[in-house]
Chain A
């Protein structure tokens, strides 16, 4: 009931137990999915060059999807669970702490303005997640991994382009499917 009301009123915050626990459980799914896609990317040619296209799309999708379902602080909780657990598979975990937080806050902001029923709403939500998030990760790539600036910028532009398209399509389809299933009202 509270879930329905929150969606109708376009609230940013939802602090009921179901949202908190749900954010934790979905955060773990987020981690598992990112770990699998990261390993897949590592085996592919573009992953060897540091471009995590599948992993980045998965990250952008989950960041937006969890925030749309559980709002805040659920979105930040799930995002930070992913960021802190990513220490097990990525050395850029320090950058992820900020990138994930910024991404989820942006989605909350968009979801508070729009009802997230149209493609344009999801395109706008994913624009912030992909651009802001990837820019922060780029800073991490330059300062932590010591990757040359021009290479980091080109990689980021490719990542943004791919992630934006793929994550928007997946988020819209999955969000609609989950709403249709009735598990989330």
Chain B
């Protein structure tokens, strides 16, 4: 198994941007399929499994089914292939749905791959290397740190509501109780942010212009060559799409 986490975040970001931008400019199903397979192959090479994409695959199937329903109902591109009562299915709609589905798969899975393989502190260091003041760059690890805290806060509010006789199980209960759950969450967030800002100020956040890290990032020669190779590959694909 190749440990991608130790690679420079700039290389991983370049790879992610290459996949996203190529999928965005592509109008070719084969190219999108190749990009998707490339992501899956790199994932199998590096992680030896695809289990990280299990949850997102379900969400992508839901989004894909929505795109398919809309295109089947309202799409009027191409030749009619099937007709029943007021419903007529055109072949162009099916192609558009498939293209849209492949594109969202590439865009989403590449971003998920980047997020899983890149440490929040590495992203902060990457931003510092790009001369962004560390007070702003450090907000990335702070976000990663506070995410589980706020999710737990939300669950504790839902549990408290349930204990007071306001259940939060079905969809309708969720809709009905949304203000009752979100308003306390906003108040708790304001209180937590007050406490957290005081804590970081007391620890010297923003006192000096620079900040030290236990582990630093540095671009190794092979990573630099890889970045150049990815950029050249993107330019080639762009030229191919534009002129051929």
Q: Show the binding face of A for B, using Cβ within 8 Å.
A: 17-18, 20-29, 31-33, 36-37, 40, 42-44, 48-50, 54, 73, 77, 81, 87-91, 93-94, 143-148, 150-151, 174, 177-178, 181, 183-184
- Measured CB to CB, the nearest residue on chain B to A22 is B193
How distant is the Cα of A143 from the Cα of B66 in the complex, in angstroms? 15
B194: chain A residues at CB < 8 Å are 18, 22, 183
- Measured CB to CB, the nearest residue on chain A to B171 is A43
Not counting A26-B189, A44-B171, a sample of 12 additional A-B residue pairs whose C-beta atoms are within 8 angstroms of each other reads A24-B146, A28-B143, A37-B178, A40-B171, A77-B139, A81-B143, A87-B115, A91-B104, A91-B108, A144-B100, A145-B67, A184-B190
Distance between B234 CB and nearest chain A CB, rounded to angstroms: 16
Which 9 pairs across A and B sit closest by C-beta, in order of nearness? A91-B104, A146-B100, A22-B193, A18-B197, A21-B197, A25-B193, A146-B96, A183-B190, A87-B111
Q: Is A32 within 8 A of B100, CB to CB?
A: no
How distant is the Cα of A33 from the Cα of B111 in the complex, in angstroms? 21
Q: Is B147 within 8 A of A49, CB to CB?
A: no
- B residues 45-64 touching A (CB-CB < 8 Å): 56, 59-60, 62-63
Interface residue from B103, B185, B201 paired with A29 (Cβ < 8 Å): B185
B22 within 8 A of A: no
B76 within 8 A of A: yes
A44: chain B residues at CB < 8 Å are 171
Q: Is A87 within 8 A of B103, CB to CB?
A: no
15 pairs from A and B in contact (CB 8 Å cutoff): A17-B200, A17-B205, A21-B196, A25-B150, A25-B196, A26-B193, A43-B171, A88-B56, A91-B104, A93-B108, A146-B99, A148-B70, A148-B76, A151-B74, A184-B190
Q: Is B190 within 8 A of A178, CB to CB?
A: yes
B235: chain A residues at CB < 8 Å are none
A54: chain B residues at CB < 8 Å are 175
Distance between A171 CB and nearest chain B CB, rounded to angstroms: 12
How distant is the Cα of A22 from the Cα of B111 in the complex, in angstroms? 26
The contact size tier of chain B is: 35 or more
Q: Mark B103-137, 1 if CB is under 8 A from A, else 0.
A: 11001100110010000000000000000000110
B interface SS class: helix
- Measured CB to CB, the nearest residue on chain A to B170 is A43
Q: Is B107 within 8 A of A91, CB to CB?
A: yes
A24: chain B residues at CB < 8 Å are 139, 142-143, 146, 193
Interface residue from A32, A48, A87 paired with B185 (Cβ < 8 Å): A32
A147: chain B residues at CB < 8 Å are 67, 70-71, 100
Q: Mark B180-204, 1 if CB is under 8 A from A, else 0.
A: 0011011101111110110011000
Q: Is B189 within 8 A of A178, CB to CB?
A: no
How distant is the Cα of A31 from the Cα of B59 in the complex, in angstroms? 16
B224 within 8 A of A: no
B35 within 8 A of A: no
B103: chain A residues at CB < 8 Å are 144-146
Distance between B22 CB and nearest chain A CB, rounded to angstroms: 13
B41 within 8 A of A: no
- Measured CB to CB, the nearest residue on chain A to B63 is A91
Interface residue from A28, A77, A93 paired with B147 (Cβ < 8 Å): A28
How distant is the Cα of A31 from the Cα of B185 in the complex, in angstroms? 12
How distant is the Cα of A50 from the Cα of B59 in the complex, in angstroms? 13
- B residues 8-67 touching A (CB-CB < 8 Å): 20, 24, 56, 59-60, 62-63, 66-67
Interface residue from B60, B143, B174, B205 paired with A36 (Cβ < 8 Å): B174
B171: chain A residues at CB < 8 Å are 40, 43-44
B78 within 8 A of A: no
